[in-house]
Amino acid sequence: MTVTLADVAARARVSPATVSRVLNGNYPVAAATRARVLKAVDELDYVLNGPASALAAATSDLVGILVDDIADPFFGIMASAIQSEIGGPGGRAGGERLAVVCNTGGSPERELTYLTLLQRQRAAAVVLTGGAVDDAEHRAAVAAKLRRLSEAGTRVVLCGRPPVPDTGAVTLAFDNRGGGRELTGHLIALGHRRLGYLAGPEERTTARHRLEGHRAALAAHGIEDDPCRTVHGRYDRQSGYEATLELLRRDPALTAVVAANDSVALGVCAALRDSGHHIPGDVSVAGFDDLPCSIDTVPALTTVRLPLARAGARAGRIAAGREEPPPGGIATLRGELMVRGSSGAPRG
Amino acid sequence: MTVTLADVAARARVSPATVSRVLNGNYPVAAATRARVLKAVDELDYVLNGPASALAAATSDLVGILVDDIADPFFGIMASAIQSEIGGPGGRAGGERLAVVCNTGGSPERELTYLTLLQRQRAAAVVLTGGAVDDAEHRAAVAAKLRRLSEAGTRVVLCGRPPVPDTGAVTLAFDNRGGGRELTGHLIALGHRRLGYLAGPEERTTARHRLEGHRAALAAHGIEDDPCRTVHGRYDRQSGYEATLELLRRDPALTAVVAANDSVALGVCAALRDSGHHIPGDVSVAGFDDLPCSIDTVPALTTVRLPLARAGARAGRIAAGREEPPPGGIATLRGELMVRGSSGAPRG
DNA sequence: CTGTTAGCGCTTTCAT
DNA sequence: ATGAAAGCGCTAACAG
């Protein structure tokens, strides 16, 4: 009842092999024959059977994109860029690739599960985005999976994620350390000496690297890094809100708060507003990522712009095999400091 | 070289069929045998071949989620909710489903392409989110595709999208008309009589329905609907910014601007600020959707909260076959008016 | 509860 | 340029 390639062949009065060749366009076929086949395809409303095709050819057109949180524009922007570079023509059979995004929810287990699922589908490529969970066991498990995927012919690209050595994975990393250093450096230059820092989840590499940059900037200027001025939390607004109140409790004389990312910074702003502090008159605020939202806060947020779309597009092209990997398989992309109204000189 | 089910069978000293039964867990197998098989799977590091499995079983565990714009939290939030309800155990083979999101970029052609690709993969279910393009030709093409998918056994769910009759598709629609009516009604109740309206893309059903609601509210209160106070545009911030300037040029005495969604409303706020208008003192602003960002504008945005996460979760469960479709296959979910600081009584 | 036997629908040598 | 035939790796009756 469901129409198969054989049906098309019968109607076009050719062999199944010829239909396959027309559909894949990877073999010379007489123009007249091709036309006849295409007509039959159209008339029968034939749709290629993906699994059968993938089984016989031992490859598929599936490309997986793993993200931590699809509801977060940070990942959405990257995923969108990746997908738009992959989803075009260029695949096998029918010329279209199925680029799909998988939401891990930040869970290491789900990350591994999705990798297995994609391995099971014999995916053509896999792109992993965002910071990794920096735990020895999980790192080893991911490395093993990536190695296995590479060996099976799946292209692996890490986008905005630190390299995983010896896996054949191409890496486009963000310079989170450098960005963090520059951001805190900017605040120090304005005259700030009592800076609160809201770090992201302790186990995430992005959070860790940004914090390292912050500390490097403090050290470079001989400012003591009082541990009670750093609070770890989640990468979300609410976490920023709560942590800010905690920070103010610990040191009411704070003149600046640096957040692990923009979502957290929005929470910081809200908490400061709600507790009667003026931004930047009383307290300066800075974020990281430069999400679209960040320009609409009042005052607009000082932050570090990450080239999310550019990185994603490049990762997509590499995954699609349309661009050469960077030399050594690793490239580091720098962020750009965006100075806006939320940062200013401290009072007094 | 790549290990197959037969290898596992050999090592576990059972037949391939038994291995398959263990892996799918849909058939009684002696505990001892199962353990032996699982051990072999582990030792050989075996990964099921998805295409082969899908071919033989004539079904797959792939579930597709179509979104207009993955970088927009409106879709991200729904997609996340859908995926978290589907991605769990409950699929075939190994107990995991591959729930993936496909980014159409709002293009009708890409929407159809993705539907074909999913049909090709013999997807277990497809969820379409967001407003449809309301063009007769495209509507017919989508309807035909959905019918074909349904007939092939793919579950089809429309989430936040108007029904498509006679396709077997289950619909969870948002009451955009009602929300629009309530929002404009609120502004009218505050005393506004000169309201600008920034409608979304003219061809989108969401934009259309929200506008209809707006007009219904005007009509209900006997307010003339001056066509020059309505401007169509894209669903983004920049569009809102530009259209607001245009609106003010046409009628500088406007006391309120209603936007098609929150992103547009952010642009409205920016344009008003930049042209020296106070919100809500000079001009009130209202959005639609209640995205997370909307609470962080100053003043916070009056808007209509849509149950994105709830709708997504329900759509996901229906797609996964874990919840019954609503009676008649259609449910309409209402929005909730969120009155915040951006709306107030008009001056004078 | 387990093994045997046919395919699922397509791709791809190898001939012609 | 086209056809014939042999699987790809798995599942699903059907026996036992």
What average pLDDT does chain B have? Answer: 93
Q: Which helix (H) or strand (E) holds A218?
A: helix A205-220
Q: Which residue of B has its CA nearest to A47?
A: B120
Predicted confidence band of residue A91 (pLDDT cuts 50, 70, 90): very low
Greatest alpha-carbon pair distance for chain B in Å reads 88
Average pLDDT for A313-333? 96
Q: Which residue of B has its CA nearest to A54?
A: B51
- Asked whether the predicted pLDDT for residue A262 surpasses 80, the reply is yes
Q: Is B155 helix (H, G, I), strand (E, B) or coil?
A: strand
Nucleotide nearest B32, from its CA to each C1': C1
Is there a contact between A96 and B117 if contact means CB atoms under 8 Å apart?
yes
Residue % of chain A over a pLDDT of 70? 97
- Asked whether the predicted pLDDT for residue A92 surpasses 70, the reply is no
Q: Which protein residue has its CA closest to C1' of D11?
A: B56
Q: Is A242 exposed, middle or buried (0-12, 13-18, 19+ CB in 10 A)?
A: middle
Report the distance separating Cα A10 and Cα A35, nearest Å. Answer: 14
Report the distance separating Cα B269 and Cα B36, nearest Å. Answer: 65
Query: How would DSSP label each residue in B262-284?
Result: HHHHHHHHHHHHHTT--TTTT-E
Question: How far is residue A5 CA from its own chain's centroid?
Answer: 39
pLDDT of res. A329? 96
Through-space distance between the first and last CA atoms of chain B, rounded to whole angstroms:
82
- Asked whether the predicted pLDDT for residue B93 surpasses 60, the reply is no
Residue count of chain B, please give it: 348
- Asked whether the predicted pLDDT for residue A57 surpasses 60, the reply is yes
**Does the C-beta of B93 come within 7 A of strand D?**
yes
Report the distance separating Cα A243 and Cα A233, nearest Å. Answer: 7
pLDDT digits (tens, 9 = 90+) for B281-297: 999 999 999 999 899 88
- Asked whether the predicted pLDDT for residue B102 surpasses 90, the reply is yes
Average pLDDT for A214-243? 96
Residue % of chain B over a pLDDT of 90? 86
Is there a contact between B83 and A72 if contact means CB atoms under 8 Å apart?
no
Report the distance separating Cα A241 and Cα A271, nearest Å. Answer: 5
In which residue are the tokens 């401007």 written?
A: B231
Report the distance separating Cα A62 and Cα B118, nearest Å. Answer: 11
Q: Which residue of B has its CA nearest to A152?
A: B2
Domains of chain A: 1-56 (1.10.260.40), 58-174+307-331 (3.40.50.2300), 176-305 (3.40.50.2300)
Report the distance separating Cα B256 and Cα B156, nearest Å. Answer: 40
Which residues from B are below 8 Å from A269, CB to CB? 296
Indicate the residue type of B127.
V
Report the distance separating Cα B37 and Cα B14, nearest Å. Answer: 8
Q: Is B289 left (phi over 0), alpha (psi -120 to 50) or beta?
A: left
Report the distance separating Cα B340 and Cα A35, nearest Å. Answer: 62
Predicted confidence band of residue A25 (pLDDT cuts 50, 70, 90): confident
Nucleotide nearest B56, from its CA to each C1': C8
Predicted confidence band of residue B131 (pLDDT cuts 50, 70, 90): confident
Is there a contact between B296 and A292 if contact means CB atoms under 8 Å apart?
no
Cα–Cα distances in Å, from A291 out to A74, A80, A251, B31?
A: 7, 14, 29, 53
Protein-contacted positions of strand D (CB under 7 Å): 1-5, 7-13
pLDDT digits (tens, 9 = 90+) for B219-270: 999 999 999 999 999 999 999 999 999 999 999 999 999 999 999 999 999 9
pLDDT of res. B245? 97
Note the pTM of the prediction, 2 decimals: 0.93
Q: Is A103 helix (H, G, I), strand (E, B) or coil?
A: strand
- Asked whether the predicted pLDDT for residue A206 surpasses 90, the reply is yes
Q: Where are the beta strands (DSSP E) in chain A?
A: 62-67, 98-103, 125-129, 155-159, 170-174, 195-199, 230-232, 256-259, 284-286, 303-305, 330-333, 336-338
For residues A187 and A131, the model is more confident at A187
- Asked whether the predicted pLDDT for residue B175 surpasses 90, the reply is yes
Q: Is B322 helix (H, G, I), strand (E, B) or coil?
A: coil
Identify which of A140, A171, A175, A135 has the alpha carbon closest to the alpha carbon of residue A156: A171
Is there a contact between B103 and A84 if contact means CB atoms under 8 Å apart?
yes
Identify which of A161, A149, A158, A169 has the alpha carbon closest to the alpha carbon of residue A65: A158
CA dihedral B33, B35, B37, B39 (to 10 degrees): -150
CB A257 within 8 A of CB A242: no
Interface test with B, best of A42, A117, A277 (most B CBs within 10 A): A117
Report the distance separating Cα A292 and Cα A283, nearest Å. Answer: 23
Tally of CB atoms within 10 A around A174: 27
CB A157 within 8 A of CB A312: no
Average pLDDT for A153-163? 96
- Asked whether the predicted pLDDT for residue A95 surpasses 60, the reply is no
